[in-house]
Amino acid sequence: MTTSLKIAFAQLNPTVGDVPGNLAKARKARAEATAMGADIMLFTELFIVGYPPEDLVLKPALQADARAAVEDLAKETSSGPAVLMGTPWVEDDKLYNALAVLEGGKVRELRYKVDLPNYGVFDEKRVFTPGPMPKPLAFRGVNVGIPICEDIWSPGIVKCIKEAGGEFLLVPNGSPYEATKEEVRFNKIAGQRVAESGLALAYVNQVGGQDELVFDGASFVFNPDRTVALRLPAWEEALVLTEWRREGKQWVCAPGPKADVPAGLEAVYRAMMLGLGDYVNKNRFPGVVIGLSGGIDSALTAAVAVDALGADRVRCVMMPSRYTAKESLEDASEVARLLGVHLDNIPIEETVNAFGGMLQPQFAGRAADTTEENIQSRIRGVILMAISNKFGPMVVTTGNKSEMSVGYATLYGDMCGGYNVLKDIYKMQVFALSRWRNQHQPGKAMGPAGRVMPERVIEKPPSAELRADQKDEDSLPPYAKLDDILECLVENELPVEDIMKRGHDLATIKRVEHLLSIAEYKRRQAPPGVKITRKNFGRDRRYPITNAFRDAP
């Protein structure tokens, strides 16, 4: 009977749909695991096609390519470590989220995911068939339980594995980052399953960005006594060899490296970096272009872009109008200097006047209003898109979640672009992140170690500068109050009565709820952005555009 095993865990960054690239990455990792002396290695959920593949996985051609790749890799397992590979798998005309056991030169066995999540960003019941309750995998005389991701989020499947003789658990995951999720998955889910079953548990999570989702890795191993045997770094790829031994009736993982896992503002910032960086790189953009206004949102966006991509791949453009303050010009210039990025200055006043002249016959007799303000924003959008079209960089928009919630943004203007790193970041958190970044350089950042923006950018009252002496709070409640109401309405779905108990007056709540409701059509046309909170605007929160319901009386 085997009393020890060497297991390699591959915390890697696959690309959805890139089966040849993911296979090459798997081969490289297996070669390294072979050199380490691994007996078996575990890849993450659906690794061979990337996660989540969404409806792409329904294409027969992708299914066939994935199967061929897995079978090709299986042929290489006549020697070296066996492989546990996440893959879609068709059997009896049913599509499963599977883990293929590759050993002895063939696909030896398969295990299927049972509990298919169908909430928030997940739609797995839409595409996959749930598998039967999984029996343990017999490997060299050891019964290894292999629940897949969601299969450990309730006790039933792990209990079934334990009752069928499972001796420890290897769990492949595709678990997206959320600002408060790490504690849940670490203690309340994985830790609880260990406490219930008495089995050691290895939780191996994907890392990388995929559209709006970002995966933080941070894989770990719990021993049966709930001590942490090892922890892999967050936000970066890692391959580690672990050594396991039988102690009495239990299997125990020997102590290994325990990386510090960033939390709070640092974790949010790293999520934004990885999300933007992978979106740009996986979609093969040469870089990004950003409208740098001298305000805090564009300054933070530029800092994240430089940290993720490097200053040479970030181009900034200042587009002043008659309403642009001298301080804004100075602040934009200083942000560009601190970040080391190229800054173009393209005044828009001549173009604004041209539009005014063209539209004067139609607008005669009507006072200036938000129409003229929106024209300025749309002119800036045209300029940024022209630079994008001519030179290739993707336009990154700079609006935050507070603005997107209440529609304080211009369609085809400041909403014009391919990605938005602040889309799920409320304004008060923008301030906090900016202060944090001025004092810290996050891991793997390509930007400067010191300040990334002058303090004045953080301290001055926010303004769109689309009319004289304009301030955001002329049109919106103070951001501290606005953000609290929005979190109540968006993240927590609280009734108006409960929001009032937090000290907010009914009139303000009604106004914010109304703005939130009528801005849905704008959010449907907004670019994707990094998911940070429990409910981002996108697949997490699917509200109708045509909607007459209001909770506030």
Catalytic (active site) residue 455 = no
Distance of alpha carbon 81 from alpha carbon 6, whole angstroms: 9
Residue 355 near residue 376 (C-beta atoms within 8 A): no
Distance of alpha carbon 516 from alpha carbon 405, whole angstroms: 5
Question: Would you call the peptide bond into 461 cis, given omega within 30 degrees of 0 as the criterion?
Answer: no
Query: Which entry of 25, 103, 113, 373 is annotated as an active-site residue?
Result: 113
Q: Give Cβ neighbours of residue 179 (< 8 Å, ≥ 6 apart).
A: 267, 268, 532, 533, 534
Per-residue exposure over 80-96, b if at least 16 CB sit within 10 Å of its own CB, e if not: bbbbbbbbbbeeeeebb
Catalytic (active site) residue 416 = no
Helices (H), 392-504: 401-406, 427-439, 455-459, 479-486, 496-500
Query: Which entry of 25, 45, 182, 481 is annotated as an active-site residue?
Result: 45
Distance of alpha carbon 130 from alpha carbon 109, whole angstroms: 17
Integer CA distances (angstroms), 368 to 26, 372, 373, 441, 467, in order:
61, 6, 9, 45, 10
Query: Which entry of 25, 103, 124, 149 is annotated as an active-site residue?
Result: 149
Task: Tokens 């790490």: give the residue.
Answer: 182
In sequence order, the β-bridge partners of residue 41 are 8, 83
Distance of alpha carbon 237 from alpha carbon 25, whole angstroms: 11
Distance of alpha carbon 354 from alpha carbon 326, whole angstroms: 24
251, 257, 258, 263 alpha-carbon torsion, rounded to 10°: -130
Greatest C-alpha distance within the chain: 92
Question: Would you call the peptide bond into 286 cis, given omega within 30 degrees of 0 as the criterion?
Answer: no
- From 182, 265, 174, select the one nearest 213 (Cα to Cα): 174
Catalytic (active site) residue 160 = no
> DSSP 3-state assignment of 297?
helix
* Assigned token pair, 381: 């959008």
Task: Tokens 């009528």: give the residue.
Answer: 518
> DSSP 3-state assignment of 73?
helix
Catalogue the active-site residues: 45, 113, 149
